[in-house]
Amino acid sequence: MSGVSRPPSRSSTPVPFTGDGSTTNGGRGNTVSERKGILLRLDPAVHDALSRWAADELRSTNSEIEFLLRRALADAGRLPGKAGEMRRPGRPRSRSAD
């Protein structure tokens, strides 16, 4: 679909765009679950503390925030059963050819 433009991804691991609004998992044909983007305003000192904590855990600041929110939801008994699992820290494992 030519003429379809979209803003550049701010993610460090962009998901391929098919032009019809859907995404695929690296061309393997599997639909990737949608991630919701939000704007979060934080006190700079809180952001710095989160960034340091994330670095200690080898996560991005965004992943650390999601991890902490999921843990808080689970502790409160409010984590939806349909919520997908968190990605493991680090680079995704490469698929070996069988």
Domain range annotation of the chain = 44-75
Lowest mean pLDDT among 22-36, 51-65, 78-92: 22-36
Residue 98 in this model has a pLDDT that exceeds 70: no
Residue 11 has pLDDT above 60, yes or no: no
Sign of CA dihedral 70, 74, 78, 84: positive
pLDDT for position 53: 97
Say yes or no to pLDDT of 42 above 80: yes
Please state, in angstroms and rounded to a whole number, the distance separating the CA atoms of residues 6 and 83.
Answer: 27
What is the rounded distance in angstroms from the CA atom of residue 67 to the CA atom of residue 64? Answer: 5
Confidence category of residue 12, pLDDT binned at 50, 70, 90? very low
pLDDT score of 6:
53
pLDDT at position 76, please? 96
Mean pLDDT of the chain: 75
Helices (H), the chain: 44-56, 61-75
pLDDT, tens digit (0-9, with 9 covering 90-100), for 60-77: 999 999 999 999 999 999
